[in-house]
Amino acid sequence: MCQLLGLNCATPTDASFSFTGFCQRGGGTDHHADGWGIAFFEGKGLRLFVDPLSAAVSPIADFLQHYPLKSKNIIAHVRKATYGEVSLQNTHPFTRELWGRHWVFAHNGDLHGYEPYLHSHFRPVGTSDSEQAFCWLMQELAKSHAALPSIEELTITLRELVPQISQFGTFNFLLSNGEALWAHCTTKLHYLIRQHPFAQATLMDRDWTVNFADLNQPGDRVAVVVTTPLTSNEQWTAFEPGQLIVFVDGTPLP
């Protein structure tokens, strides 16, 4: 299985602390060594970095840990290959354009016998079940709405579409269009909200403690979503199986 990391923030925030711990799981403290990737939204723009090397040894991952980029929505992934060879085209996150916006998707799990009918311009480049699922979601969203709908409308549509994929297996995923972060759990996903009054956090996968009170303002707020908790001294909330949560400005919407 792979692992997921997502950040949704009220103000542009760098992910260096979380990303540094997360990278160790890509072949360092864990076995997810079959590629990694991270996407940063900047307004309507997108910075995407993917590499089929292990995140624990990748020079690009090391560069990003020391050259933090600030964003309100960030999705990262470390891969343990099951469907599809270890290659650049099968490395998450995947991106597509819809309604004049970038969309980013990363998946953890296996979909057995999943062969969706793709009849629009959303088609996979690689051979992973994950990219097929992403293409089908984009295709069906495009069919359901003539133009960019509200976050609430998108969430309703996703709640109708996701069970049609998750019936084929494990479908933990993160999805963002730069305005919101959608997170769905089949088996394992956790989140926390960092906000005022900020406190210290200590990574589980690396010897690093940060006092966020020294780095943030009262109006800052960050939602962190991850497969397995990244820190040992913060209160993480586990998703319920089948739960889809949308985060906006660092807050989970009801």
List % helix, strand, coil for the chain (3-state, nearest 5).
20, 35, 45
Out of 2, 9, 23, 185, pick the active-site residue.
2
Would you call 34 helix, strand, or coil by DSSP?
coil
Residue type, 102: H
Alpha-carbon distance of 120 to 85, in angstroms, equals: 25
Alpha-carbon distance of 173 to 129, in angstroms, equals: 12
Name, in order, each residue with C-beta under 8 angstroms of 240's C-beta and a sequence gap of 6 or more. Answer: 185
Known catalytic residue: 2?
yes
Contact 54, 33 (CB under 8 A): yes
Region at 35 (left for phi over 0; alpha for psi -120 to 50; beta for the rest): left
Contact 223, 251 (CB under 8 A): yes
Q: Give just the sign of the alpha carbon dihedral 13, 17, 18, 24.
A: positive
**DSSP, res 80:** -
Name, in order, each residue with C-beta under 8 angstroms of 197's C-beta and a sequence gap of 6 or more. Answer: 213
Annotated active-site positions, please? 2
